Structure 1
């Protein structure tokens, strides 16, 4: 698995194949297929491995601080490897690390008395946000590395001479620090969760 993650960092998801992995590890096909009978099985195992750091115990604190911390930890884990968010997205793998992350989210929501009937909705909403944001963040970083991000951004922003509002909105979003933009989105989601909690006083404005 360490070899697969290392190959991912070099080749990216699109260049990762079981053939290349076997060559990198000097392992013949039949031996590799005993562990990973398909690329899908390999990606499932890699997705769960990428969540290993996310599954560590959380520090004590209020439910919203814990979910914010967990979301940030997930983003960091995905960003730590090339195409990490794309590897995890859509796998729905039931590996041990994935289960630990699920248990952490649901344990936080249960302790906050959030209704079980909607807890899964919250978990998916937050998880999808982290994955989507990180996929776009990594894509923008790759476009920058390839030297084409500026042209892409200019086409989106400068190409809207009809609306100063839209140009300002896009420029401030694209030029923002990704971590700050990410944290803003997490706060929006958790503010919505807060409204669904029973008998919860409104949170003071920052």
Structure 2
């Protein structure tokens, strides 16, 4: 678990609301997210929520049918951070921004990453994310009958990379990355000539590596789409 900053003490109004047991949906979601981000998903129980809010754990059932519905609402709320693509931007700029925003949600919310990875696309924000991704792929010139494969490639890469950023300290912790570099730099070049040669460039900073991989994937999408037809961006430019 990455170290997290403990949330600040509740305001007077929040404290009073918790003391009197007057809850609302947003207060529960905010507290649940704080618990997951600080102490991990396993710590997020209805009993813990009740203790933090100063109410009986059964009070949550007035706002959520069960824990699964609470988790779904948490995921949906996190994806508010993904901005709607700029209608005046290029498909490539928009897809790049979508993938980066999407990835950062996983990186920044380790405690909820597991829930997000298991969550089906049955929440409003996730519908929007799919709609925006597909729209930009169509603008890139990807044939409609191939959209599924392109969309899945983007999904797999973004979510997979986000989970690595959340759960793999050997890639995300600078000290560990530096140690890996030293290990490779010390390899016998006679036995491992290629790895020893590349030692200084191995294990780059996590976000830098992800941004590079996004551009690599977008390059592949652009090249593949160019073989299939004329992207809408180009048709629009030509018409203008």
TM-score range, shorter chain: 0.7 to 0.9
Aligned: 1:92 with 2:153: no
The 5-angstrom pairing of residues 172-183 of structure 1 reads 172-174=201-203, 176-183=204-211
Per the alignment, in what secondary structure is the counterpart of residue 83 of structure 1? helix
* Matching residue of 1:78: 106
Pick from 36, 58, 61 the counterpart of residue 85 of structure 2: 58
* Matching residue of 1:106: 134
Taking a change above 3 Å as real, the CA distance of residues 73 and 196 of structure 1, as seen in their structure-2 partners, is same
* Matching residue of 1:19: 47
Residues 79 and 126, structure 2, Cα contact 8 Å, conserved in 1: yes
| CA–CA separation in structure 2 for the residues paired with 1:160 and 1:34 | 61
How far has the Cα of 1:89 moved from its partner?
Answer: 0.9
How far has the Cα of 1:194 moved from its partner?
Answer: 1.6
How far has the Cα of 1:71 moved from its partner?
Answer: 0.7
Q: Which has the higher Rg, Structure 1 or Structure 2?
A: 2
- Which structure 2 segments of 5+ residues have no match? 1-28, 232-240
How far has the Cα of 1:167 moved from its partner?
Answer: 5.0
**Aligned residue pairs: how many?**
198
Residues 52 and 97, structure 1, Cα contact 8 Å, conserved in 2: yes
Aligned: 1:131 with 2:151: no
How far has the Cα of 1:85 moved from its partner?
Answer: 3.3
How far has the Cα of 1:168 moved from its partner?
Answer: 5.4
How far has the Cα of 1:172 moved from its partner?
Answer: 2.7
Per the alignment, in what secondary structure is the counterpart of residue 52 of structure 1? helix
| CA–CA separation in structure 1 for the residues paired with 2:64 and 2:182 | 43
| CA–CA separation in structure 2 for the residues paired with 1:83 and 1:167 | 36
TM-score, structure 1 normalization: 0.78
* Matching residue of 2:38: 10
Taking a change above 3 Å as real, the CA distance of residues 121 and 143 of structure 1, as seen in their structure-2 partners, is closer
The root-mean-square deviation of aligned C-alpha atoms, in Å, is 3.1
Pick from 156, 163, 179 the counterpart of residue 192 of structure 2: 163
Tell which deviates more after alignment, 113-122 or 159-168. 159-168
